[in-house]
Structure 1
């Protein structure tokens, strides 16, 4: 086990990580590996705090299951009954929208992550913008991952539970499970805590520290933090179908298993097939992904946030649970280790999952490089902007996203939206390359009509000139 984890850590160049393996009510493995930060010798331990990111969602749905047991709500209750202020842009969808829809990624709403990710406004503001967003696909007509409906589900839990979401999760789930390292924002993590630091691979392929994403508001879709020790208890609770390691039942088997029942088919496109090479079908449940793996039913979910990636996985028929935590951005090590552990503990033929997922990573990086090279080759480097740079400065608005501002100073253009800064340089006609920051190498494209700037496409958002 130690050798397998160390091989994976070195193969993916991950500074540090932690793992937990449970079978039934027993913890088989609980250990930290490597370092909390690449530039120091502080080791990762079983009490090192990692962000759970989107694995927070399964805590929200488990809380909803508790409230179902309480009789405070039902999965198919209309959302308008519990949260009338939350509306989609389609009135027909609003009439049918249920709690189940909110947590199974089938509302028709796209991702719209920039309405909450690193935003200076609060979640209530984010939820108020939803009616202004056209649906990306027909209601219940497909699958699209979106964190915003989980925020609405958290607000429903608050209304039904008569307390804040974070207090309900803490008191109804985490405290009975003795998950003592849990927090609901990064600012709640004690200054003395054994906290992992996030990293990324830079353009030169070197591992470097990544800026922390400080989440200051509890978010039912992704703000929790926990340790490997905490997650061992969480996995035992899940494997035990609602019973805590202490023997106390926290939620009925029926209500909890509903969160792990497939709700929405996830089509396996080429990218999906690369990530699930041993899988025939993948579905989203409620805070969990359900798929087959080499003849076994597997229930899992990943979490990705700045500098970190984790994976929580259950093999229900074998009473097994796995947690893999890493402090490297967008690494595929958690999936590689998880598959390796399933093979090991389920007596399946071994496969070099490190090599497989490293190739997935390398192929994706090469595709990005080739895409940029193709784009650069196709541009006209002599094509100048249609107008003087100062003419592009001003405010640009979107009904839901708000205002983006473009400024001209020191002979250069720069844009601002939310908490992001976009230094711009002329690229091809009225397209400008973003030279640094979160969106480096993407293009900001202005629309010019009849000698005037009328619009701006920035981070995929179509803004109109004020």
Structure 2
């Protein structure tokens, strides 16, 4: 199916169709495979960004032609990363969730056009009309009207006490940022809902379905979802943060790994070997893999459904003119080549899978450290290996360009958090109490151990000391892994109205999953 044909199927704007016709159909051949070249690229990225561990695999014309691993599963552990090491693939889980649904469509157990409430009668969106008209396919394409990352505080930071039922109930209280199906904003909650739709239609839990419909038939023997024992699985990468110039393990696994509420959005773990097998299933399926999913559903997965904004960097680096979201995949033209990809980001873990279907080629990158820039640079260098093989630009060039871009950005806030001090009892006396947001639940803002403290009932990691900075208050979270501080803004009306509380990111550029701005608390009682 050509890229233009995909756009026609998706029913995207005529301007997109006109542009799609300009995409070159002749793509230059990639350079001969050079193991030493790939090793040099990998070593340069690891050295430049001081990564704790990484696993990279490259597929050329349906065959794995390179596997490279560096570093340790945990800094100082002495246990090396291998192609068998389990990594959190984060949002690369979304394509797997969409594929579970596709398998159920093939089996006649649901239709993409079915209303969500057919399977989840309690499902509600903020707008009743959207509730009635939300279809299963709408859950996958980020056009629901939810704000970017809306409700993500019910998923992260983890672990927390929110359930999937809490998420379904909470959606009714999250105000839309735009109208239904009118634009793109990335969300995670509706993938959790998609997992529950699959469970209702498939007659088993989401975790059981993933194993039944994906892991077992495709032979993804190392992938894990749900509850499992890390001491029995072994060889499991741990996430790292950079602290004082060192890679430090954060939120290390215990002997037992608990199920994640967010599994359908980003809770699957896989090894590089299994991710390469998953990629080959899409690029060059054998007879067994072809039987696993119909040609119709394979095609449907990669139809561009929701147009996405194209950044200045993407235009400059890749000449991208078409960029859209499908069923758990991003579709784009890069240097005239048709690409399908996704990234995954969790605290201390980064991943990317980039596929070039017309070449039956692609690659997978798994990293167990803070590595957004490293992932961006490595993804670009490997892509150019296929789309512009004669180009001499390498890791140093793209790393430098990325650093210049970062330095040129204007600060997004004119009110930095400086001059922090502990508020006095007199300053804070009117704000003590228990506050409630309709979807996030209760938080206590009370005196504990001589400090003013913020403690979230269902998200224990969102606990910290309240500080005064200038004329405002902020929360200094107890855990360094919660890296986005929040302003607290109290609002006092007349005596007939409760005190209200709103939050905002101290650093507006912090990860969108810290969706403090979507919270609207009211004080419901005093501190006991």
The answer to whether the Cα contact below 8 Å between 1:12 and 1:358 also exists between their aligned partners in 2 is no
Partner of 2:512: none
SS of match in other structure, 2:266: coil
The answer to whether the Cα contact below 8 Å between 2:420 and 2:467 also exists between their aligned partners in 1 is no
Partner of 2:299: 257
- The CA deviation at 1:396 is 0.8
1:465 maps onto 2:523 in alignment? yes
- The CA deviation at 1:61 is 0.8
Partner of 2:487: 443
Pairing partner for 1:29 from 51, 59, 66:
66
Partner of 1:10: 47
The 1-side partners of 2:67 and 2:287 are apart by 15
The 2-side partners of 1:381 and 1:415 are apart by 16
1:279 maps onto 2:325 in alignment? no
Per-residue CA deviations over 1:113-154 (Å, capped at 9, x if unaligned) read 002222312112111111122212100011111111111111
- Counterparts of 1:137-176 in structure 2 under 5 Å? 137-176=178-217
The answer to whether the Cα contact below 8 Å between 2:281 and 2:289 also exists between their aligned partners in 1 is no
* Counterparts in 2 of 1:432 and 1:286: CA distance versus 1, 3 Å: same
1:431 maps onto 2:470 in alignment? no
The answer to whether the Cα contact below 8 Å between 1:212 and 1:307 also exists between their aligned partners in 2 is no
* Counterparts in 2 of 1:211 and 1:140: CA distance versus 1, 3 Å: same
Per-residue CA deviations over 1:403-437 (Å, capped at 9, x if unaligned) read 11112134421101222112111112242352653
- Counterparts of 1:111-260 in structure 2 under 5 Å? 111=149, 112-117=151-156, 118=158, 119-185=160-226, 187-202=228-243, 204-212=244-252, 216-217=259-260, 219-240=263-284, 243-244=285-286, 249-260=291-302
Bigger shift: residues 44-53 or 281-290: 281-290
SS of match in other structure, 1:446: strand
The answer to whether the Cα contact below 8 Å between 1:49 and 1:226 also exists between their aligned partners in 2 is yes
- Counterparts of 1:261-410 in structure 2 under 5 Å? 261-269=303-311, 277-346=318-387, 347-357=389-399, 359-360=401-402, 363-364=405-406, 370=411, 374-376=414-416, 387-410=426-449
Greater relative CO, 1 or 2 (CA 8 Å, sep 6+): 2
Q: TM-score, normalised by structure 1?
A: 0.89
SS of match in other structure, 2:217: coil
The 1-side partners of 2:222 and 2:281 are apart by 16
SS of match in other structure, 1:140: coil
Pairing partner for 1:86 from 123, 148, 171:
123
Pairing partner for 2:90 from 53, 56, 68:
53
- The CA deviation at 1:296 is 0.6
1:412 maps onto 2:451 in alignment? yes
- The CA deviation at 1:271 is 7.5
Gaps of 5+ in 1: none
SS of match in other structure, 2:454: strand
The answer to whether the Cα contact below 8 Å between 1:333 and 1:354 also exists between their aligned partners in 2 is no
Gaps of 5+ in 2: 1-37, 504-515
Structure 1 runs (4+) deviating above 4 angstroms are: 244-248, 269-274, 361-368, 379-387, 449-453
Q: What is the aligned length?
A: 459
The answer to whether the Cα contact below 8 Å between 1:215 and 1:223 also exists between their aligned partners in 2 is no
The answer to whether the Cα contact below 8 Å between 2:144 and 2:180 also exists between their aligned partners in 1 is yes
The answer to whether the Cα contact below 8 Å between 1:343 and 1:350 also exists between their aligned partners in 2 is no
Bigger shift: residues 345-354 or 43-52: 345-354
* Counterparts in 2 of 1:440 and 1:93: CA distance versus 1, 3 Å: closer
Q: TM-score, normalised by structure 2?
A: 0.79
The answer to whether the Cα contact below 8 Å between 2:41 and 2:395 also exists between their aligned partners in 1 is no
The 2-side partners of 1:453 and 1:81 are apart by 38
Bigger shift: residues 312-321 or 211-220: 211-220
Q: CA RMSD in A?
A: 2.9
Bigger shift: residues 215-224 or 141-150: 215-224
* Counterparts in 2 of 1:106 and 1:387: CA distance versus 1, 3 Å: farther
The 2-side partners of 1:231 and 1:248 are apart by 17
The 2-side partners of 1:124 and 1:435 are apart by 27
Partner of 1:454: 499
The 2-side partners of 1:127 and 1:323 are apart by 33
Partner of 2:17: none
The 2-side partners of 1:14 and 1:207 are apart by 8
